Structure 1
Amino acid sequence: MKKFMCLALTAAMLLTGCTGKTDEESAGTAGQAESSTVQETTSPAETTQAATQTAEEETQTQTSSEGGSMKAGAYSYHLETEEKSWSTPKGQLACTVKIQYPVFEGDTEGEKKINEFYQEWISGKMEDYEKNPESIVGYALQYRTEEENAQTSETQETETFTMPPSEEDFTVGGVVARDNIISVFHESYTYEGGAHGMPGRLTFLFDSETGKELTLSGLINKSGDELNTMVRGKFLELVEKDTENRFFEDAAETLNAKTDFMDSYYLNEEGVVFYSSPYEIAPYAAGYTEVTIPYADLGM
């Protein structure tokens, strides 16, 4: 019941035109000894051929290097950010995208391949932003162009938009090197209007020698069912011991039906951290709910 009330409240806030980010948007960090700091942020469509051409002309692109070298085990890396912005045919900012990623500074085969992976990953994402009308950039350009056209048809000039520009940001939440594994954990934030945006998370695992991408299922000695049972039990312990009503009334029911715990994880120095997203078993303000399984318990 609490879950439906929370979603209804969010919908109401969107309809009232509330904008901007709140203090509640900090969704949790990796908290690792060898990690980069987390930064919180957020989220083309072709409305007409002319609008698309103009938007492409107004696209701003920038790549920047941030800070100095950091360490993850024996590996050194620094962070870089690729940023692009898209504007409407009349020059109004519609959407900004920022993607932060690690650049490994060694000359091993593994480090070179990981750097190549990130260049391809970023290129693919930017191509999707540009060409996919259902991407956040596509929706933002379509919405703002339509609003802009509606305004000018009535007043002959463009007024202030009712919502801030959309944005989507990816930051590096932590880099961990353990045995022959390099793990890169990303936090994301997507804002498309309303009271607040939505956080997200993403983890990449690599073989440190070859740079080949790995999967968690290939590294642990548990079957999918065994892992789900183990992680589910940890979450249920949190729900059962809760005395502050932090969770939805149907949190236990949701957890018992959940079978994809392996899809939501990151690595830290102690083990594998599994998490549930905001609104899954607790309100948005509660952020992520996390449990940690030691590496030894997973055969890693």
Structure 2
Amino acid sequence: MVFIRLKPFSLGRIKLNKKQREERNIMKKFMCLTLTAALLLTGCNGKSADGNTGTAVLTESSTVQETSAPAETNQETTEAATEETQTSGEKGSLQAGEYTYHLEKEEKTWSTEKGQLACTVKLEYPVFEGDSDGEKKINDFYEEWVSDMMENYENDPDSIVSYAMQYRTEEENSQTAAEGETEAFTMPPSEEDFTVGGVVSHGNLISVYHESYTYEGGAHGMPGRNNHIFDKETGKELTLASLINLSNDELNTMVRDKFLEVVESDTEGGFFEDAAETLNAKNDFIEYYYLTDEGVVFYTTPYEIAPYAAGYTEVTIPYEELGM
């Protein structure tokens, strides 16, 4: 028995995979082009200290950011920022099988030297309330996750925070040089939000599913998803591949067939014309999944076989069919 659904994504990535990094780079390029066009349309013709126009300087600098951003520049930018961190606990306990947990969230903002908001990050994570070794280990995992994520935002020259700070500062300086004062920005501040989409208890496993939403400019942001599976007794993180009794080729065939059923049964033209071709060439279904009470949900990402507005296309395979 197979459950199939086509579901719009909800707002809500732990680590970026190759496809997500490519999507982020596309969004960055789009933002740079949009900003350049906006400045040209508004007639910004101020000059920087080296005599170049504000538009040209911003375009050149943004292009450099696309290829590489020196660590020294990132450090100076981050140190110059005004930062605000807040940790909050969500009221009320939640239940996943025999486990009780609650959600906590750490939020941090970065602003330019002139006080303009550049980026906001929100990290939501579960805190298990029991005292078993497994629960303690999972809580340790998420404490480390929050710490590593914040360190990455602060120090990685290619992080969303580094890019947002440089972009915001350049736009701020360009507007000041052109008009003598800072006007309204052409783009809203960047943001990255992580929410807990669900916690599932199945057999000897605890699964935590995250959704994320990243905005770096343009018409809309990009959603992301990530799932972590833990052994209940030890708290050790497990892989889906280690839990199923199918080879990677067998799994790809099973999941691909279910997606092809969805595409072939579509009568409203909701998929791209080459959706079937894309699915037939896809061999990494195991990387795009999360767990529910019914089974393992496999999904394709927006733009992969359908437009952005269609969200994620999903198929659910019951645990027994996967040997879990």
The interval holding the TM-score normalised by the smaller chain is: 0.7 to 0.9
The answer for the alignment partner of 1:24 in structure 2 is none
**Corresponding residue SS for 1:158:** coil
In the TM superposition, 1:6-25 aligns within 5 A as: 15=34
**Corresponding residue SS for 1:249:** coil
Q: TM-score, normalised by structure 1?
A: 0.84
Measured in 2, the distance between the counterparts of 1:120 and 1:48 equals 23
The answer for the alignment partner of 1:108 in structure 2 is 132
- Which residue identity lines up with residue 154 of structure 2 in the other structure? E
2:169 is matched with which residue: 133, 145, 148?
145
The answer for the alignment partner of 1:220 in structure 2 is 244
Contact 2:87 2:104 in 1 (8 A): yes
Measured in 2, the distance between the counterparts of 1:107 and 1:130 equals 33
Measured in 2, the distance between the counterparts of 1:291 and 1:167 equals 30
The answer for the alignment partner of 2:80 in structure 1 is 54
Q: Does 1:251 align with 2:302?
A: no
Cα distance change on mapping 1:223 and 1:52 into 2, 3 Å: same
Measured in 2, the distance between the counterparts of 1:117 and 1:49 equals 27
In the TM superposition, 1:100-139 aligns within 5 A as: 100-139=124-163
Q: TM-score, normalised by structure 2?
A: 0.78
**Corresponding residue SS for 2:93:** strand
- Which residue identity lines up with residue 317 of structure 2 in the other structure? I
Contact 1:183 1:203 in 2 (8 A): yes
Deviations 1:274-300 (A, max 9, x none): 000000000001000000101000001
Contact 1:46 1:138 in 2 (8 A): no
The answer for the alignment partner of 2:308 in structure 1 is 284
1:210 is matched with which residue: 230, 234, 249?
234
- Structure 1 residue 149: deviation in Å? 1.1
Measured in 1, the distance between the counterparts of 2:105 and 2:74 equals 31
- Structure 1 residue 50: deviation in Å? 5.1
Q: How many residues align?
A: 265
**Corresponding residue SS for 2:207:** strand
The answer for the alignment partner of 1:40 in structure 2 is none
The answer for the alignment partner of 2:15 in structure 1 is none
Contact 2:78 2:154 in 1 (8 A): no
Contact 1:46 1:52 in 2 (8 A): no
Cα distance change on mapping 1:146 and 1:79 into 2, 3 Å: same
1:229 is matched with which residue: 243, 248, 253?
253
- Structure 1 residue 11: deviation in Å? 5.7
- Which residue identity lines up with residue 196 of structure 1 in the other structure? H
Structure 1 unaligned blocks of 5 or more = 1-6, 18-43
The answer for the alignment partner of 2:180 in structure 1 is 156
Structure 2 unaligned blocks of 5 or more = 1-25, 39-68
1:242 is matched with which residue: 266, 270, 283?
266
Aligned-residue Cα RMSD (Å) equals: 2.2
Cα distance change on mapping 1:49 and 1:64 into 2, 3 Å: closer
- Structure 1 residue 156: deviation in Å? 3.0
Measured in 2, the distance between the counterparts of 1:46 and 1:195 equals 31
